[in-house]
Amino acid sequence: MTFEFEAYAKIILENKLGENFSTMKETLISLNVPENFDESQYLDVNGNPTKEGAKVIISCFTSGINVCLQSAREQSISMIPKCCDML
């Protein structure tokens, strides 16, 4: 049996005219729970993650970052700061 969880992160930035940087205003996360799962085990009544939901979100984000870094490395794109080269 296979099943899919989807975790999303959205960042909201503000850029003022004439500035060459943006300011982070808000970060939102969400979790899509498979239909045949008990959503209340992963999200509370307000849609916030429970302890189990947080575990799934962290797992999704960590796996996503690992795949992104691996892909970047395969394409010779340096996304890791030089201080981390020793790790």
What is the extent of the structural domain holding 38?
6-84
* pLDDT for residue 1: 87
| Domain presence at residue 1 | no
* pLDDT for residue 7: 97
| DSSP calls for the chain | -----EEEEEEEEE--TT-SS-EEEEEEEEEEPPTTS-GGGTB-TTS-B-HHHHHHHHHHHHHHHHHHHHHHHHTT---S-GGGTT-
Give 54-82 pLDDT, tens digit per residue. 999 999 999 999 888 888 878 776 655 55
pTM value is: 0.76
* pLDDT for residue 87: 44
Count up the domains in the chain and report the number. Answer: 1
